[in-house]
Amino acid sequence: MLVRFFHFQNRISRRITFTWFHFNWKLWLASAVQSISMDTPWKFCPSRPV
């Protein structure tokens, strides 16, 4: 019974983690691109509006 409960809890937490990554990968990507373009000189990003 206890093992089943832990297995069920593990499945739920794994699903929550997957959903969290599914909804947050765009935010991670946007923040990564923003930090990279902040570190990169403007000549490397000609298409980016000033």
- Per-residue pLDDT band at 38 (split at 50, 70, 90): low
Range with the poorest average pLDDT among 1-5, 10-14, 15-19, 25-29: 1-5
Q: How far apart are CA 16 and CA 9, in angstroms?
A: 10
Q: Contact at 8 Å (CB) between 38 and 45?
A: no
Give this prediction's pTM: 0.33
Q: Contact at 8 Å (CB) between 37 and 45?
A: yes
Q: Check whether 21 has a pLDDT greater than 80.
A: no
